Chain A
Amino acid sequence: MSALGELRSIRGSTRGSPRKRDNRAALVFLLPWFGGLFLITLGPVAASLVLGFTDYNLIQPPEFNGVDNFTRMLSDERLHNALRVTFVYVVVSVPVQLACALGLAMLLDRGLRGMAFYRSAFYLPSLLGSSVAIAVLWRQVFGADGLVNQLLDLVGVQGRGWISDPSTALSTLIVLNVWTFGAPMIIFLAGLRQIPVMYYEAAAIDGAGRWKQFWRVTLPLLSPIIFFNLVLQIIHAFQSFTQAFVVSGGSGGPSDSTLFYTLYLYQRGFNNFDMGYASALAWLLLVIIAAFTAVNFWAAKYWVFYDD
């Protein structure tokens, strides 16, 4: 069903292949992929681990400096702040986004008239959301004289500079991420379609109301899809960059309140050409994302229900 499901089944199966092998043909077909895997993906992953233990500014050759980059992380206030900002963003925006996605999917999953229209309308922001154009728009909409404040003004509420105020700037980016709930919604819709109607009929005969049906039938049967969405959206949220970059003009401001981890990494690497430290930061990001994913997989044992 999904990439995650595939990984599960790979872990589970042990059966060898009875068919004859076509290693030569496979090598030819996989040649570009192998090239990409080693040159573009795994090579750089390994290289960035090595660079993480060096001081390198692109001009002088890299100089080995032991664990300096990592001890530097411990006292790097901006890094700590970037971690905090990113965690808040991930922990708040992903659950809210998924709740919206699931709620809407529930509303749409009833052979609804105009289904195609609604699906498109709610999905469109997902396609536009990562563009610079929408970030430009967001900068205006939540600016001091922006659309939000103009609308608030109509009802007599005094707005504020949502983006220029450090206490609200991050919220505008969270709103932006929630706004793109269409993609997970589409996945939920597909999942809801696969729940056999007879389960609901049986539940109804047993006297379960809509609410109980939701908790006892829909949620358990949908839990693998919720899990899939959760893992993916968390990984994506950790990598958010464009919106914070454009909205803050590349600074992560005001007062570093939108300094996403990736934005800080970009500043270190590509503004300061502090490539050694940036590599160490990249690895820390990888470890953090891997840890979140691992915890997710571990916790899944307790709430994800597999029908097989």
Chain B
Amino acid sequence: MTDLKQRPLPVVAVAGPPVRRSGVGRPLRGAVKHVGLILLALVMLYPVLWMVVSSLRPNDEIFRSPGLVLDGLHTRNYGEGWDALASPFGHYLLNSAIVVLGCIIGNLVSCSMAAYAFARLEFTGKRLWFAVMLGTIMLPIHVIIVPQYIMFSQLGWINTFLPLIVPKLLATDAFFVFLMVQFIRGLPRELDEAARIDGCGHGRIFWQIILPLMKPALATTVIFTFIWTWNDFFSQLIYLTDPQMYTVPVALRSFVDATVNTSWGSMFAMSVVSLVPVFLAFLLGQRYLVKGIATTGGK
């Protein structure tokens, strides 16, 4: 239900034992392959690297320097970009952080509850509801955005963060429900049975047994929610029209429109600033991603 997100799916590969087939001409072929792969990685990441370097160049130089070597550090772009819009850029970073935090809490609470029910409880119509839940993963947000907008505007929620956060509190990111269901199914049922014999109700089984064991799936949820919400543009563009309420993507876009081709340096600088959190989440999260997904994705 989200706009053009390159959804990394819950089946990220796990480093397994090396598998080697056929060993003829290994060393040379291997070397050629590595050179090729490194070149390809470089080509792919080149634009991003170049943006980082260019954000430290004076404006006119950006249009003449395709290389990555810097003559000096032109850090003024960052200062100028920071103050280029109505509010300092930190204001938009803070707004984005609030939205992201709200969405993370919402997804953690609501999706884990729903996942417990689907994975561990028997109830009337379970198969039907589960199929409905899977179906909503594939429902485009564009199909519901108009009535949603009308509803939220009648509630007076336009230009607040509520339209962005409240749906997450209601487990509308079914992708995470599915991810957690898969994870819980992998946990031994004997644990629940033992707890039940000891007199635990479902509330305590969920809270004291399942949730603590689910940490990898929860971490995966946190990281994906962070990245997707941080990057999300469509719904933030629609619900936030007051510059005071702008989040990073919306602010960055208004920056583009306001400056059209005049100050690429500062625009690049703020683009880099906006990507840093995503990059950090990626670096810090990888360990959890692999771990969480090892247990979920494999089968």
Contact = CB atoms under 8 A, between A and B. Distances in A.
Contacts of B47: 137-138, 141, 147
Contact of A186 (B13, B18, B33, B48): B13
Contacts of B253: 132, 245-246
Chain A CB count within 10 A is highest, among B4, B15, B51, B233, for B4
A216 B106 CA distance: 46
B142 A282 contact: yes
Nearest to B135: A7
A285 B143 contact: yes
B113 A32 contact: yes
Contacts of A109: 19
A127 B227 contact: yes
Contacts of A210: 22
B20 A44 contact: no
Contacts of B140: 235, 238-239, 285-286, 289
B148 A33 contact: no
A26 interface: yes
A205 interface: no
B8 A137 contact: no
A187 B9 contact: yes
A76 interface: no
A151 interface: yes
Interface in A86-127: 104, 107-116, 118-127
Interface stretch (A16-24, A65-73, A299-307): A16-24
Given A44-B147, A186-B11, A238-B140, A126 B6 contact: yes
A10 B117 CA distance: 17
B3 interface: yes
A29 B117 contact: yes
B41 interface: yes
Interface in B239-283: 248-249, 252-253, 256-257, 260-261, 264, 267-268, 271-272, 274-275, 278-279, 282
A66 B189 CA distance: 55
Nearest to A50: B147
Interface residues of B, number: 114
Nearest to A201: B21
Contacts of B272: 133
Interface stretch (B72-80, B97-105, B169-177, B213-221): B169-177
A147 B264 CA distance: 12
A59 to B, nearest CB: 11
A232 B121 contact: no
B130 A58 contact: no
A194 B248 CA distance: 40
A259 interface: no
Nearest to B148: A44
B253 to A, nearest CB: 5
Interface string B18-48: 1111100000001001100100110011011
A134 B50 CA distance: 12
A120 to B, nearest CB: 7
A186 B34 CA distance: 19
A10 B131 contact: yes
B227 A116 contact: no
A291 interface: no
A1 B135 CA distance: 16
Interface string A196-213: 010011001000001000
A45 B135 CA distance: 13
A177 B207 CA distance: 41
Given A3-B137, A136-B252, A189-B13, A183 B6 contact: yes
A262 interface: yes
Interface string A139-176: 11101010100110010000000000000000000000
B295 interface: no
Contacts of B63: 145, 150
Contacts of B166: 40
A29 B114 contact: yes
Contacts of A119: 13
Given A29-B116, A123-B8, A241-B4, A51 B249 contact: no
B103 to A, nearest CB: 13
Given A132-B249, A137-B271, A236-B6, A115 B113 contact: no
Contacts of A289: 138, 140
Interface string A43-59: 11101100100000010
Nearest to B181: A6
Contacts of A30: 113-114, 117, 129
Nearest to A118: B37
Contact of A193 (B16, B37, B170): B16
26 contacts: A10-B127, A22-B123, A25-B203, A26-B123, A32-B169, A36-B169, A36-B170, A37-B172, A40-B172, A41-B172, A44-B146, A44-B148, A45-B139, A51-B146, A110-B21, A125-B48, A127-B278, A128-B278, A130-B231, A132-B248, A150-B64, A182-B6, A189-B13, A235-B140, A236-B7, A269-B149
5 shortest interchain CB distances as A-B pairs: A111-B18, A36-B170, A26-B123, A133-B271, A47-B147
